[in-house]
Amino acid sequence: MTDLVGIFVFAISGALLAVRKNFDVFGMAVLAEVTALGGGLFRDLIIGAVPPAAFTNLGYFVTPLVATVLVFFLHPQVERIQRGVNVFDAAGLGLFCVTGTAKAYDYGLGLTASATLGLASAVGGGVLRDVLANEVPSLLRWDRDLYAVPAIVGAAMAALCIRFGILNPLTSTLAVLTALSLRLMALKYHWRAPRAWHRSSVTTEEPERVMP
Amino acid sequence: MTDLVGIFVFAISGALLAVRKNFDVFGMAVLAEVTALGGGLFRDLIIGAVPPAAFTNLGYFVTPLVATVLVFFLHPQVERIQRGVNVFDAAGLGLFCVTGTAKAYDYGLGLTASATLGLASAVGGGVLRDVLANEVPSLLRWDRDLYAVPAIVGAAMAALCIRFGILNPLTSTLAVLTALSLRLMALKYHWRAPRAWHRSSVTTEEPERVMP
Amino acid sequence: MTDLVGIFVFAISGALLAVRKNFDVFGMAVLAEVTALGGGLFRDLIIGAVPPAAFTNLGYFVTPLVATVLVFFLHPQVERIQRGVNVFDAAGLGLFCVTGTAKAYDYGLGLTASATLGLASAVGGGVLRDVLANEVPSLLRWDRDLYAVPAIVGAAMAALCIRFGILNPLTSTLAVLTALSLRLMALKYHWRAPRAWHRSSVTTEEPERVMP
């Protein structure tokens, strides 16, 4: 059930970007599906879990369509509650990095690889969304609040819990909440990651605005 | 044999875009291969049919190269018969959405997932083509004639025929022809899909022209 | 061991592009990993070697991170030795096209398909790097020195050696060196591939500069 919440909010972010890019309703649905399911799809292909959960669980497929319909009719209202969307997106991020790590480990990957795949399933959908929309992935941009670090911390916590045999609902929830809180604090205090040294004063790319 | 026709026309569209983007002959070949085989490759990875047909059937690999050579020497002539190319592309679209749906079902996916993969194998190559050429995928753009809907209808018809146990050469052909006709009518009457509400009067993206 | 060298130099090229695109340190790490491991990952997914080597060999994962740290602190120096980076990149290209071909054949693919996958593992990482950085893949551009041809020659030599049962360390090295030399000569003499006929005098794309 909780994963459907994560899928839903990721789908919202995909559908909203589609509206901003002036796509039609099918473009919205495609971007919603890709954002919501892309990360998990990548993880499942890597660990050999085929067909991936995205294609065997009907709820996973339908949820992004519901999000699309909602954004289609109500997008000005959805934009207005961007802050609320951000909170749910942070929850999805925390959830996916932990469950992704656990699933990869269940399929026999090492701890580092599992945590990497946990990270990839949390952020992969957003990267695919931006690539399809022909944008520089916001994950990579220095002028975006930290997104990768919270997921890395959550995935690393899950991997450590596995390592010491203490991954249970309680510690999982703790890892999810840690990632969620870090992301919310990054949003609130505009935490940024550093760029390469000697780089701060020059910009070769003109500033781009994605989010109005 | 019919699938080679679909592969050929999809490859033509890839090679033509490469010419428009001023790529060299290897870029043309890469874009032709990706456009023609990308959708089926994605489907085969999802259903676990590895190595994918694109890598086991030599004809699948050679056909896009033939299309590349043709466009390399004759592209002004090929451009001039764009209408003819569109008809064949519509035929490829109809063919792939039906065969893709049937193949996915053969590998044990549910009906909805099979139809989705049928759609993905029909439109996936074109999306990959546009991503590699650094264009907004024309599948997503509101200012393009309907492309997804004919494939959705064809895939849904195939899934329904499977559901009722009546998928045979006759009904398959009917589904292919329906998708093909819908696409041709979308081209002829410039059918468009709606964008999100309250959106019609504003454009945030400057108009882009891909097809001269 | 040699493959780590190839991974390292490919990762350097990814991290350098990230600096040029003004990405933060996590963007650098992502681009380094993708460039270094993307081609092999694609090959392993196609041949069904899951989990892919990129996720089972810890050295494969750590090496791009080392390259990222190096570029982070020393990127002006790394830029200055671009010529040296190009030599190593050519070595990586030669190495990957030969080992990729051999690995694909070991997994039961035909000779043509194996050579194609060898080519794809050599150039795939660079294509993914450029797609993520929202650039037209330099592989496809006519105004770049030949990159695909050296890899095609190397992969074809490896496939021919397999065909005649003479693929051994000596002939493999010869194939690697041939690809490497061709790439270095392409760089030195600015070999370019032709564009489609009647195309030389017109450019529809404005000139883009990626490398300053």
C212–chain A Cβ distance below 8 A for any pair:
yes
pLDDT of residue B199 exceeding 90, the answer is: no
Averaged pLDDT of chain B: 88
pLDDT digits (tens, 9 = 90+) for C136-179: 998 998 888 899 999 999 999 999 999 999 999 999 999 999 99
| pLDDT at site C35 | 95
| pLDDT at site C202 | 45
| pLDDT at site B155 | 96
Residue of chain C minimizing CA distance to B212? C204
C-alpha distances in angstroms, A125 versus A66, A144, B32, B186?
18, 17, 27, 31
What type of residue sits at position C24? D
Contact C19, C77 (CB under 8 A): no
C-alpha distances in angstroms, A111 versus A101, A108, A120, C64, C75?
8, 9, 14, 18, 31
pLDDT of residue C204 exceeding 80, the answer is: no
What type of residue sits at position C144? R
Rounded to the nearest angstrom, the minimum Cα separation between C1 and chain A is: 20
Subunit contact C135:B134, Cβ cutoff 8 A: yes
Give the helix/strand (H/E) hosting A29: helix A25-47
Give the pair of three-digit tokens for residue B192.
């468009």
Q: Coil, strand or helix: which one is B143?
A: coil
Torsion sign across C-alpha atoms B116, B121, B122, B125: positive
| pLDDT at site A154 | 96
pLDDT: which is higher, B80 or B120 = B120
C-alpha A33/C-alpha A14 separation (Å) is 8
pLDDT of residue A62 exceeding 80, the answer is: yes
| pLDDT at site A201 | 43
Give the pair of three-digit tokens for residue A88.
């749910």
Contact B175, B157 (CB under 8 A): yes
Contact C130, C136 (CB under 8 A): yes
pLDDT of residue B57 exceeding 60, the answer is: yes
Contact B107, B30 (CB under 8 A): no
Residue of chain C minimizing CA distance to A114? C55
C-alpha A171/C-alpha C125 separation (Å) is 37
Listed in sequence order, the DSSP H helices in B107-166 are 111-132, 148-163
What type of residue sits at position A106? D
B1-11 average pLDDT score: 86
pLDDT of residue A130 exceeding 80, the answer is: yes
- Closest by alpha carbon to B124, among B20, B14, B43? B43
| pLDDT at site C199 | 58
Give the pair of three-digit tokens for residue A107.
């399929």
pTM of the full structure:
0.90
Kindly provide the b/e burial profile for residues C123-148, where b requires at least 16 CB atoms within 10 angstroms of the residue's own CB: bbbbbbbbbbbbbbbbbbbbbbbbbb
Contact B37, B54 (CB under 8 A): yes
pLDDT: which is higher, A80 or A137 = A137
Torsion sign across C-alpha atoms B164, B170, B174, B180: positive
Give the pair of three-digit tokens for residue C97.
């096209």
Give the pair of three-digit tokens for residue A21.
């890019």
Q: How far is CA B114 from the centre of its chain?
A: 16
Give the pair of three-digit tokens for residue C116.
């194609």
Give the helix/strand (H/E) hosting A158: helix A148-163
pLDDT of residue B203 exceeding 50, the answer is: no
Residue appearing with tokens 């993914």: C128
ipTM, two decimals: 0.87
The backbone torsions φ and ψ at residue B211, rounded to the nearest 5 degrees and listed phi first, read -95, 120
Residues in contact with A1: Cβ distance below 8 Å, sequence separation at least 6, in sequence order: none
pLDDT digits (tens, 9 = 90+) for C72-123: 998 887 777 777 778 888 888 999 999 999 999 999 999 999 999 999 999 9
CB half-sphere exposure, B175, CA atoms < 13 A: 31
| pLDDT at site B77 | 79
C-alpha distances in angstroms, B164 versus A66, B73, B157, B161, C75?
27, 48, 11, 5, 63
pLDDT of residue B110 exceeding 50, the answer is: yes
Contact B16, B86 (CB under 8 A): no
B194–chain A Cβ distance below 8 A for any pair:
yes
What type of residue sits at position A20? R
Torsion sign across C-alpha atoms C151, C155, C160, C161: positive
pLDDT digits (tens, 9 = 90+) for B150-179: 999 999 999 999 999 999 999 999 999 999
| pLDDT at site B32 | 96
B32-47 average pLDDT score: 95
pLDDT digits (tens, 9 = 90+) for C15-74: 999 988 889 999 999 999 999 999 999 999 999 998 999 999 999 999 999 999 999 998
pLDDT of residue C3 exceeding 60, the answer is: yes
Q: Which of A42, A101, A195, A205 to mutate to test the interface with C (most CBs of C within 10 A)?
A: A195
Report DSSP state, residue A171.
H
Subunit contact B212:C204, Cβ cutoff 8 A: yes
C131–chain A Cβ distance below 8 A for any pair:
yes
Q: Coil, strand or helix: which one is B22?
A: coil
| pLDDT at site A210 | 42
Tell me the domain boundaries of chain B: 2-189
Q: Which of A19, A24, A50, A75 to mutate to test the interface with B (most CBs of B within 10 A)?
A: A24
First vs last Cα of chain A: how many Å apart? 32
Residues of C in contact with A205 (CB under 8 A): 21-22
C-alpha B30/C-alpha C131 separation (Å) is 14
Q: Which chains touch C (3 or more CB pairs under 8 A)?
A: A, B
Find the farthest-apart pair of alpha carbons in chain C and give their distance in angstroms, rounded.
50
C-alpha C20/C-alpha A22 separation (Å) is 29
Residue of chain A minimizing CA distance to B136? A134
C-alpha C53/C-alpha C61 separation (Å) is 10
Contact A95, A151 (CB under 8 A): no
C-alpha distances in angstroms, B94 versus B32, B42, B50, B171?
19, 17, 24, 13
pLDDT of residue B78 exceeding 80, the answer is: no
Range in A55-64, C2-11, C193-202 with the lowest mean pLDDT: C193-202
Residue of chain B minimizing CA distance to C141? B23
Neighbours of A200 (CB within 10 A): 10
C-alpha C142/C-alpha B26 separation (Å) is 9
Range in B16-20, B34-38, C116-120 with the lowest mean pLDDT: B16-20
The beta-carbon contacts of C79-84 under 8 Å, at least 24 apart in sequence, are C79/C16
Q: Which chains touch A (3 or more CB pairs under 8 A)?
A: B, C
Contact C117, B3 (CB under 8 A): no
